[in-house]
Amino acid sequence: MSQVTRVSVFSRVLPALAVALVAFAFVVLSDRSPTRLTLELAWAGPDSTRPFGSGDAGVDLFALVFHATFRALGLAAVVALFGFTLGTPLGTTAGLAGGKAQRWLLRACDLTQSFPTFLLALAVLSAVAVPSRLHIGAVFCLTVWAPFARIASVQARVLGQSQFVEAAQALGVSHGVIILKHVMPNLLGPVAIQLGTAAAGIVIGETALGLVGLGPADGVSLGSLMEQGTLSMLRAPHVLAVGALTVMVVSGSLQLASEGLRRWVGRT
């Protein structure tokens, strides 16, 4: 990998790393609580002690932003990695097999992706008495694997017709070894970009669920922050501004990191 490429990859991954590290450091090192109520400061604007101001019932928005970001990134990372781990091998195997195996996998992907994940989450979480991140993550896991499987299937189908795979088959290399050593390393580039896209989508999805009142019961989420912002658009517009900018930075940095990851995988 050339020096220019390394700089390009690093510049794309750095924002997401910075967001994650800053949020982690704040959660670990700071004693500022995202749930402590100070009623006399309700909806107060930014000042020297609270740079982002206060929200509903005097919640410290500075603490809420970092705690909510850290938890959103954790959920997004777990669910996206689950989708990658499940979908990529499924798609690779079906793509190399071709025929009915690939057709049935693509039909399963079509069926899974035809129903919006947000609506599925609404249906499931509305039946849960006290929604938690475990419930939200489980709903997202039901559908997150499909894009990974679709991309891997198409790429594996193309790679299966390449000369190096045909040479390995002619030499009697087992099907499993061909998948692990020859096919999957060469399709990770296109699949890798889906990691950031999936993670960003999960952040947006969790925010949307919190906005309609189906977020985590602890109230420490980007959706809860956005909900406070919509309730106070006229009397405390800074709350909505803080929430919108936070969601934009978190989801945007993840999407940018996916492109950097694709370039890094593609050049190694």
pLDDT, tens digit, 9 for 90 and up, residues 67-76: 999 999 999 9
pLDDT of 20 above 70: yes
Question: DSSP 3-state assignment of 1?
Answer: coil
pLDDT at 151: 92
Question: DSSP 3-state assignment of 168?
Answer: helix
* 150 burial level (CB within 10 Å; 0-12, 13-18, 19+): buried
- Give the predicted TM-score (pTM) of the model: 0.89
Largest interatomic CA distance in the chain:
77
The helix-helix angle for 184-211 and 61-97 (nearest 10°) equals: 140
**Predicted confidence (pLDDT) per residue in 194-249, tens digit:** 888 999 999 999 999 998 888 888 889 999 999 999 988 888 999 999 999 999 99
Distances (CA, A) of 217 to 27, 116, 205, 210, 214: 19, 23, 16, 9, 8
pLDDT at 1: 53
- Measure the CA–CA gap between 215 and 99, rounded to whole angstroms: 42
| Secondary structure (DSSP) of 139-175 | HHHHHHHHHHHHHHHHHHHHHTTSHHHHHHHHTT--H
Mean pLDDT of 109-117: 89
Mean pLDDT of 118-138: 89
Local confidence band at 164 (pLDDT 50, 70, 90 cut-offs): confident
**Predicted confidence (pLDDT) per residue in 210-221, tens digit:** 988 888 888 899
- Measure the CA–CA gap between 225 and 38, rounded to whole angstroms: 16
Counting DSSP H helices and E strands in the chain, the numbers are 10, 0
pLDDT at 226: 94
Select the more confidently predicted residue: 107 or 128: 107
- Measure the CA–CA gap between 184 and 178, rounded to whole angstroms: 9
Local confidence band at 7 (pLDDT 50, 70, 90 cut-offs): low
Mean pLDDT of 8-13: 78
pLDDT of 51 above 90: yes
Local confidence band at 66 (pLDDT 50, 70, 90 cut-offs): very high
- Measure the CA–CA gap between 42 and 55, rounded to whole angstroms: 6
pLDDT at 265: 64
Which of 137, 143, 183, 176 is CA-nearest to residue 160? 183
What is the token pair recorded at 159? Answer: 């790679």
pLDDT of 160 above 80: no
- Measure the CA–CA gap between 10 and 138, rounded to whole angstroms: 32
Mean pLDDT of 72-92: 94
Distances (CA, A) of 245 to 1, 34, 143, 187, 249: 34, 18, 27, 34, 6
Instruction: Output the 3-class SS for 15-51.
Output: HHHHHHHHHHHHHHHCCCCCCCCCHHHCCCCCCCCCC
Question: DSSP 3-state assignment of 162?
Answer: coil
Mean pLDDT of the chain: 88
Local confidence band at 27 (pLDDT 50, 70, 90 cut-offs): very high
pLDDT at 268: 52
- Measure the CA–CA gap between 11 and 5, rounded to whole angstroms: 10
Mean pLDDT of 101-124: 90
pLDDT of 3 above 80: no
The helix-helix angle for 61-97 and 99-114 (nearest 10°) equals: 150
pLDDT at 238: 94
